[in-house]
Amino acid sequence: MRLILFLLILFATNTFAQTIITGKVSDQTKQALPGSSIYIKDSYIGTVSNSQGNFKIKIPKIYQSGKLCISSIGYQSKEISLNKLVTPLLVKLEKDTAQLNEVLVMPKDTLLALLRKAYGKIKDNYPNVDTRMKGFYRESYYEANKEEYLYFGEAIIDVFKSSYNNSSEGQVKIEESRMNKHPLYHDYSSVMWYGGLHFPLYSDDIKHRASYLSPKDFKRYDYTIYKDKLDNQSVYRIEFKPKEGQKAKYQGRFYLDITSLAYLYSECTFSDFGYEKRNKYLFFNGLSVSKRKEQLKYKFWKGKYYLSFSSSKENLYNKKTQSKLIRIYEYLTTDINSKDAKPIQFAEQTELTDVFYLKAKDIQKSDWQDKTRIQADSSLIKLMEYSPNKSNSLLHKEHNLPKGYQFKQKLMKVLTHTYADIYIRAKSNKSITEAKIIYTPSPDLSFNKSIPTGNSPEFSFGMKMGYKLNPHFDINYDSQESIGKNISELNSLGFAYETPIINRGNQLLLMCGVNYFFLQEGIHVGYFKSKSNFKAGGKKFNADKIALYIGKKKQGLSFDLGLRTKLKKFYSLFVMGGYQFNLQEQDRLFIKEKSGFFLTRKKANISLKNSSIKYFEDGIQTSTTCFDTNNFNLKVGIRIML
């Protein structure tokens, strides 16, 4: 037993052994280089040097025969074999004196042929399988007038991204988060930004084949090519802008690897047309944009290029509060798994409509206090908006909490868990062959008419409001009203469940629900003019025009089963079948006012057994009706996530 225990300890020691390396990065004059990047080559394990240029990094045993890379902006990178170095390590970097911006004179057709070839090689240069990526996400909102951050948040996220051979959506899960929120956020800004957590998915211009890369849109842009350097690597720099008179959204530049023609980096701003479209989108929120900058960087790893960094910075103006605002999204990949990558479990996924401001934990409640910010190379340090010291100070800045703040925050959380279904319901009916009614509500009034016959589908317009308890379950209220002359009014309270059948790309969700319903439905008898007042069902009717219906009043349980898939952003399409179990049923005459202000129109129903009613079917007086609708129904509609 002791021998086994000894062997287990020995095995664990060898498996998890690590070497700790310390050192300092400086230039040739021994001046410290803070913010230098120190990382293991071909991995995402790394750190940055502090204000004195000092660093410490743990090297797992599996990498101890690899190389340690040290780089800093404006300096030549250095690689050192890990099995030869001595700690503490003193690293001196030389200034980078590479000559840049050498313009290449190239015929237009030749340049476009090069760009077309680069576009065609996306399938070779980028992953053709699904991947799972771990990443560092940051979102901030800054009020320039008051020099205040309305919020500053960070998260470690898990990203599922489908193959670059298609443009289908992926999924995102929050693993850890922390945020410092200004207590007066709702006074400074009425805007909640959704979609930030999905930024590493929708910002990937290569995967989504952005217009400035696509051969079908070459006619809309002017391109210029330069020979340049990127991270000490020879590249082509392509600058582009819309042709005069063309409605193209972007202008900027991107970099191509000279050998593989892979897209390595892009930097874009909006064109005049792009700003015009963006301002139309922001108009209803009282915002306008004056400046926007987007950046993307890709990293070579195990034979393919993967998204390494993306950012979006937008300068805004809030007309309501007359304030200048800056919104920033940043994402940095820290780990990649391209082998048998599985989609994220449905219950763990964030929705595109999730608001990071509401999802992230307050810094005081977060267990994530000190997580290493991994910046894999020097160019990423240059691209990142905030230094680690700045980030730490913003996360721990103290604010006084005013009254009503928590209530507003909870209200917004409720609204972002709410959805609305708008749909059309169809069902068939069992009509009456021959019927007549004589209704005498008072001695001086008598309504007498034969009922029209014929079988036809019944259509209703419906709206359901639901609240998501969690990704799978929700509670809801449903209301339906008939389209056409016949009456069909349904109200129900329900409980629903959904789960994915296809959990990748454009998800396909299975929906099922159970509801307790109250239903009134009947066939239209006719319109009548009321010359004097009369009472029915305890209500007083005095209308120029009324409508009568013969039908049934029901209540019971209904069961729904259907499918839902996303269309775009916060819209999705669903198809659902339902079946009703009637627990209680009554034959009724329905009375509705059809004139006057529509919100004050009265309606009532009375039993066909009432003494004021003489009802005949096939010439025989009866107090029941054979009119009914099928218990099966079909719904087709759109879901809107608020």
List pLDDT tens digits, range 215-265.
999 999 999 999 888 887 889 999 999 998 898 999 999 999 988 999 999
pLDDT over 70 at 2, yes or no: no
Q: Give the pLDDT score at 465.
A: 95
How does residue 381 score in pLDDT terms, banded at 50, 70 and 90? low
What does the pLDDT read at residue 85?
75
Cβ atoms of 274 and 312 within 8 Å: the answer is no
Q: Cα–Cα distance between 353 and 467 in angstroms, integer? A: 14
- Judge if 85 and 118 occupy the same domain: no
Dihedral sign, Cα of residue 22, residue 28, residue 32, residue 38: negative
Single residue among 358, 382, 414 that ends a domain in this structure: 414
Rounded Cα distance, 155 and 395, in Å: 12
Tokens standing for 385? 């908006």
pLDDT exceeds cutoff 70 at 477 = yes
Q: Lowest mean pLDDT: which of 250-264, 412-426, 570-584?
A: 412-426
Pairing of strands 89-93, 18-27: parallel
Torsion of CA 189, 192, 196, 197, to 10 degrees: 130
128-161 burial: b if 16+ Cβ within 10 Å, else e: eebbbbbbbbbbbbbbeeeebbbbbbbbbbbbbb
Region 23-35: mean pLDDT is 86
What's the pLDDT at 175? 92
Return the closest-CA partner of residue 163 out of 131, 124, 195, 194.
131
CB neighbour list of residue 488: distance below 8 Å, 6 or more residues apart: 458, 460, 480, 481, 482, 519, 520, 521, 629
Closest listed residue to residue 165, CA positions, set 503, 505, 501, 500: 505
Nearest to 431 by CA among 628, 581, 192: 628
Q: Cα separations (Å) of 350 from 44, 153, 246, 498, 518?
A: 25, 16, 37, 15, 35
CATH at 454: 2.40.160.20
For residue 567, give the nearest of 635, 502, 640 by alpha carbon.
640
Contact 524, 485 (CB under 8 A): yes
Q: In this structure, how many other beta carbons lie within 10 angstroms of the beta carbon of residue 20? A: 9
Same domain, 142 and 223: yes
Q: Give dist(CA 65, CA 43) in Å, integer.
A: 13
Q: Which range has highest mean pLDDT (397-406, 528-537, 582-591)? A: 582-591
What's the pLDDT tens digit per position in 193-219? Answer: 888 999 999 999 999 999 999 999 999
Same-domain pairing of 85 and 113: no
Q: Do 326 and 378 share a structural domain?
A: yes
- What is the domain extent for residue 381? 102-397+404-414
Give the per-residue pLDDT at 107.
64
Amino acid at 580: Q
Show which of 38, 71, 93 is a domain's final residue. Answer: 93
Q: Are residues 505 and 547 in the same domain?
A: yes
> What are phi and psi for residue 392, nearest 5 degrees?
-65, -40
Last residue of a domain, one of 69, 93, 117: 93
CB-count exposure of residue 329 (10 Å: 0-12, 13-18, 19+):
buried
Percent of the chain with pLDDT over 90: 44
Quote the CA–CA distance of 285 and 166 in Å, as a whole number: 33
Summarize pLDDT for 270-306 with one digit per residue, the tens: 999 999 999 998 888 888 999 999 999 999 988 999 9
Report CA dihedral (601, 606, 611, 616) to the nearest 10 degrees: 100
Residues 205 and 341 in one domain: yes
Residue 479 Ramachandran class (φ > 0 left, ψ -120 to 50 alpha, else beta) = beta
Domain of 37, CATH number, reads: 2.60.40.1120
- Taking the C-alpha atoms of residue 639 and residue 571, their distance in angstroms, rounded to an integer, is 6
* Rounded CA separation 339/382 (Å): 31
For position 195, what pLDDT does the model report? 87
Q: Who contacts 599 (Cβ-Cβ below 8 Å, separation ≥6)?
A: none
- Amino acid residing at 623: S
Same domain, 264 and 300: yes
DSSP state of 106: -
408 and 424: one domain? no
Quote the CA–CA distance of 315 and 393 in Å, as a whole number. 23
CA distance 121 to 196: 29
The pLDDT score that the predictor gives to residue 396 is 78
Same domain, yes or no: 374 and 478? no
What integer is the mean pLDDT of 430-458? 83
CA 246 to chain CA centroid, Å, is: 31
> Where does the pLDDT of residue 147 fall: very low under 50, low under 70, confident under 90, or very high at 90 and above?
confident
CA angle at 497 for the pair 459 and 177, rounded to the nearest 5°: 125
315 and 437 assigned to the same domain: no
DSSP 198: G
Q: Which residue has the higher pLDDT, 354 or 232?
A: 354
Neighbours of 560 (CB within 10 A): 18
| Cα distance between residue 606 and residue 558, in whole Å | 25
- Give yes or no: residues 381 and 454 share one domain: no
| The total number of structural domains that make up the chain | 3
> What is the residue-wise DSSP string for 537-606?
TTEEE--S-EEEEEEEEEEEEEEEEEEEEEEETTEEEEEEEEEEEEEEEEEEEEEEE-SS-GGG--EEEE
**Strand, coil or helix: 195:** coil
Give residue for tokens 């996360």: 395
Residue 8 dihedral angles phi and psi, to the nearest 5°: -65, -45
CA 40 to chain centre: 34
Instruction: Supply the pLDDT for residue 245.
Output: 87
- Per-residue pLDDT at 218: 92
The gap between the terminal CA atoms of the chain, to the nearest Å, is 62
Give the angle subtended at the CA of 211 by the CAs of 205 and 213, to the nearest 5°.
70
Q: What percent of the chain has pLDDT over 70?
A: 89
What does the alpha-carbon distance between residue 123 and residue 212 come to, in Å, rounded to a whole number?
Answer: 18
CA 457 to chain centre: 38
Buried b / exposed e across 167-187, counting CB within 10 Å, b at 16+? eebbbbbbeebbbbbbebbbe
241 and 357 belong to one structural domain: yes
